């Protein structure tokens, strides 16, 4: 009977057989999925490293060229020779580059614009200085010199050279006029600023203010101490350019840099009307 009895398989053996027969889970997709995520992350890192970030406060650049009249009305100047009885009546247009297209009209009080030497309020001295510059030039020219086609171009180029510092004087900070202080720092141009031959652009030069040490520094020039009473303090940069500043309204809590320079360039002068009488 013992021989006739079939031997029953052990339960543990069935489980083992079942385990061997079941399909095994493949780890390759999981590895590939993790690798793809890692590759994407690595690609993003390299992309951010390769593309430089834009500065939040980019330095302003000149725009243009633009064209505008240099005066509201015709300008009359006397010529030399013939007993100074001859005079020139002209309306001139200027081709210019500026941080603000409305700048020239702003000088005449017929337009508006942004700060930073953009379009200031009308400067009452501008028209007077413009006429004076053209008068000083015309007083050295005869009727023949301003009517000859070849010499006219020479006259206009000389006029451009004289008019440019009148049209684009030095400004400081965000002032709308060369006679006003920077609203942020309180720094102002000094009384001798008309003697300066500094013609650098407004956002290419700066004055560094250290209120703790009470020192000012123009670009990379030598630092100069101040007390707070100076109305005509001279500063010199590394290139020997001189500027004069007024520190009487300088704010005690301001520390940092203030832009200083001209807000544009006069490229060429054109004749709208040009009559010798």
Give first-to-last CA distance, the chain, whole Å: 150
Q: Which of 242, 76, 62, 97 is nearest to 167 (CA)?
A: 97
Q: How confident is the model at residue 142 (pLDDT cuts 50, 70, 90)?
A: very high
- Tokens, residue 119: 């379009």
Look at residues 79, 85, 76, 75 and name the one whose alpha carbon lies nearest to residue 139: 79
Percent of the chain with pLDDT over 70: 75
The alpha carbon of 247 is separated from its chain's Cα centroid by a whole number of angstroms, namely 24
**158-180 per-position pLDDT tens digit:** 999 999 999 999 999 999 888 89
Q: pLDDT-based confidence at 108, cuts 50/70/90?
A: confident
Q: Which residue has the higher pLDDT, 141 or 28?
A: 141
Domain with CATH 3.30.479.30 in the chain: 59-169+265-277
Which two three-digit tokens encode residue 158? 């000389």
* Predicted local confidence at residue 49, as pLDDT: 41
**Position 102 pLDDT exceeds 80:** yes
Question: 252 pLDDT exceeds 70?
Answer: yes
Domain 59-169+265-277, CATH number (from 3.20.20.10, 3.30.479.30, 1.10.3720.10, 3.30.70.3000)? 3.30.479.30
Both tokens of 116, joined, read 């930073």
How far is residue 123's CA from residue 137's CA, in Å, rounded to a whole number? 22
Q: What is the pTM of this model?
A: 0.76
pLDDT band, very low/low/confident/very high, at 1 (cuts 50, 70, 90): very low
Higher pLDDT: 262 or 119? It is 262
pLDDT of residue 26: 54
Q: Provide the mean pLDDT of the chain.
A: 83
Q: What is the pLDDT of residue 112?
A: 56
Q: Tell me what the mean pLDDT of segment 54-69 comes to.
A: 82
Q: Which of 27-31, 87-91, 143-147, 202-206 is least confident?
A: 27-31
Q: Report how far apart, in Å, the C-alpha atoms of 275 and of each of 69, 78, 128, 220 are.
A: 17, 12, 21, 49
Least confident of 56-60, 145-149, 234-238: 56-60
Residue 17, pLDDT above cutoff 70: no
Look at residue 58 in the predicted model and tell me its pLDDT: 81
Q: Do 118 and 107 meet the contact criterion of CB atoms below 8 Å apart?
A: no
24-38, 84-98, 177-191, 221-235: range with lowest mean pLDDT: 24-38
pLDDT of residue 5: 47
Residue 236 backbone dihedrals phi, psi, to 5 degrees: -130, 130
Residue 64: predicted pLDDT: 93
Exposure string over 222-257, b if 16+ CB within 10 A, otherwise e: eebebeeebeebebebeeebbbbbbbeebeeeeeee
What is the mean predicted confidence (pLDDT) over 149-158?
93
């Amino acid at each position: 009977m013992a021989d006739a009895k079939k031997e029953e398989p052990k339960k543990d053996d069935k489980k083992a057989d079942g385990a061997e027969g079941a399909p095994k889970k493949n780890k390759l997709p999981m590895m590939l999925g993790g690798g793809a995520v890692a590759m994407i992350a690595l690609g993003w890192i390299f992309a951010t490293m390769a593309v430089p970030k834009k500065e939040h406060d980019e330095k302003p650049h000149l725009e243009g060229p633009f064209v505008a009249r240099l005066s509201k009305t015709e300008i009359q100047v006397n010529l030399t020779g013939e007993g100074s009885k001859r005079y020139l009546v002209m309306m001139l247009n200027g081709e210019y580059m500026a941080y603000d297209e409305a700048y020239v009209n702003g000088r005449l009080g017929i337009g508006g614009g942004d700060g930073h030497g953009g379009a200031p309020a009308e400067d009452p001295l501008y028209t007077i200085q413009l006429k004076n510059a053209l008068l000083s030039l015309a007083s050295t020219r005869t009727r023949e010199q301003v009517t000859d086609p070849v010499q006219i171009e020479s006259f206009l180029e000389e006029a451009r050279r004289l008019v440019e510092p009148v049209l684009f004087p030095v400004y400081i900070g965000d002032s709308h006029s060369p006679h006003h202080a920077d609203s942020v720092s309180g720094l102002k141009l000094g009384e001798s600023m008309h003697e300066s031959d500094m013609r650098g652009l407004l956002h290419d030069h700066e004055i560094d203010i250290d209120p703790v040490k009470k020192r000012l520094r123009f670009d990379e020039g030598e630092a100069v101490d101040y007390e707070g009473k100076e109305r005509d303090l001279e500063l010199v940069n590394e290139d020997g350019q001189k500027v004069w500043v007024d520190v009487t309204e300088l704010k005690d809590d301001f520390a940092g840099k203030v832009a200083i320079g001209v807000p544009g360039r006069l490229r060429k002068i054109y004749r709208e009307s040009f009559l010798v009488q």
